[in-house]
Amino acid sequence: MPSEQRMPNLRNALTIDVEDYFQVSAFAPYIRRQDWESAECRVERNVNRILDMLAEHQVKATFFTLGWIAERYPQVVRRIVAEEHELASHGYGHERASDLTPQAFNADVTRAKKLLEDLSGVAVRGYRAPSFSIGLGNLWAFDELSRAGYAYSSSVYPIQHDHYGMPNSPRFAYRLASGLLEVPVTTVRLFERNLPSSGGGYFRLLPYAVSRWLLQRVNRREQESAVFYFHPWEIDVGQPRVPGIDMKTRFRHYVNISRMEHRLQSLLTDFQWGRMDEIFLRRPLPVSH
Ligand SMILES: [Zn+2]
């Protein structure tokens, strides 16, 4: 059955935002940055589990890795590169781009790129903003990414959401005047709206068959590669529960975490996957903005 659902020629990009559970933006009001040092770190075990799964399925992916994590877990960075996945940047300190000045943003993304390159010995070309925090209010961030030497970004979610989103921006990859490529995470256009279809909490919330249908629609009807994302903590049933958080944050963070690993296995079987750079950096794309 899975072989019938496989798209023979179209590969989708599998992306992992490498950070730990206590660094999630929605927890920022509850966990102080200075407490990160003493929090129980789970990221190494979780990334190793993901790398094992990818090896079983012979899938290569892109790891948008936080500088703060790379500095403390260089062996994780080295394993990602040794197993021929793409090492990319999630910035250094997981501050939303929309909360920073252009100078502070440039300093953060430059620091992360240099750190990842020094640790791995490979060029880092891709960047994803924490919480998809590039939008209409901070389009200057694209210029700063070019200046810092990045070739592409995957930082825009073209949806309406209370924490992020730029609903009217293009749904598929486009080139900015600076030459930077932006590859938005995937949405499906239905009922005159862009529906989130590319991972995160929505993937855990919706039945797997619905998520699969959404991705197939992008591949079949639009003949476009999708960009799917998840986090190492999303497969971690044993992560410490953060106390005192509001109901919405709790629901979004923990919903269906116990089902995530099984669903990822299905996703790896039902679609063809690859690295961002291999799928998007090699083909001509429309210019926008
Ligand atoms: Zn993140």
Distance 33 CA to ligand 1 centre (A): 14
Query: For the segment 3-62, what is each residue's pLDDT rounded down to a tens digit?
Result: 445 545 699 999 999 999 989 888 888 888 888 988 889 999 999 999 999 999 999 999
| Distance between CA atoms of residues 66 and 145, nearest Å | 16
Ligand 1 midpoint to CA 175 (Å): 23
Q: How far is the CA of 28 from the centre of ligand 1 (A)?
A: 12
User: Which residues share a beta bridge with 229?
Assistant: 15, 199
Give distance in angstroms: CA of 36 to centre of ligand 1.
Answer: 14
Distance 23 CA to ligand 1 centre (A): 7
- Let me know how long the chain is: 289
Query: What are 163-211's pLDDT values in tens digits?
Result: 677 777 889 999 998 899 999 999 988 888 888 888 888 899 999 999 9
Which of 41-55, 92-106, 237-251, 267-281 comes out lowest in average pLDDT?
Answer: 237-251
Going from the Cα of 5 to the center of ligand 1, the distance in angstroms, rounded, reads 31
Question: What is the CA(87)–ligand 1 centre distance, in A?
Answer: 15
The tokens for 93 are 């300190």
- CA–centroid distance, 19 to ligand 1, in Å, is 6
Expressed in angstroms and rounded, the spacing between residue 83 Cα and the centre of ligand 1 is 22
Contact 69, 19 (CB under 8 A): yes
**pLDDT the model gives residue 3:** 43
Cα of 132 to ligand 1 centre, how many Å?
8
The answer to whether the predicted template modeling score (pTM) of the entire model surpasses 0.75 is yes
d(CA 269, CA 273): 10
Environment class of residue 207 by beta-carbon count within 10 Å: exposed (0-12), middle (13-18) or buried (19+)?
exposed
C-alpha distances (whole Å) from 206 to each of 121, 158, 232 are 39, 19, 19
Tokens 């990414």 map to which residue?
A: 145
- Using the mean position of ligand 1's atoms as its centre, give its distance from the Cα of residue 271 in Å: 24
Could you please report the per-residue DSSP string of 97-134? Answer: GGGS-HHHHHHHHHHHHHHHHHHHSS---EE--GGG--
The encoded tokens of residue 8 equal 């023979």
Judge whether 13 and 276 are in contact, CB under 8 Å: yes
Taking Cα atoms as reference points, which of 222, 234, 223 lies closest to residue 264?
234
153 C-alpha to center of ligand 1: Å? 14
**What is the 189 CA–ligand 1 centroid distance (Å)?**
25
Give the Å distance between the CA of 73 and the centre of ligand 1: 17
In the numeric block, the tokens 């390159």 are attached to: 117
- Answer yes or no: are the C-beta atoms of 59 and 34 closer than 8 Å: no
What spacing in Å lies between the alpha carbon of 4 and ligand 1's midpoint? 34
What does the alpha-carbon distance between residue 273 and residue 267 come to, in Å, rounded to a whole number? 9
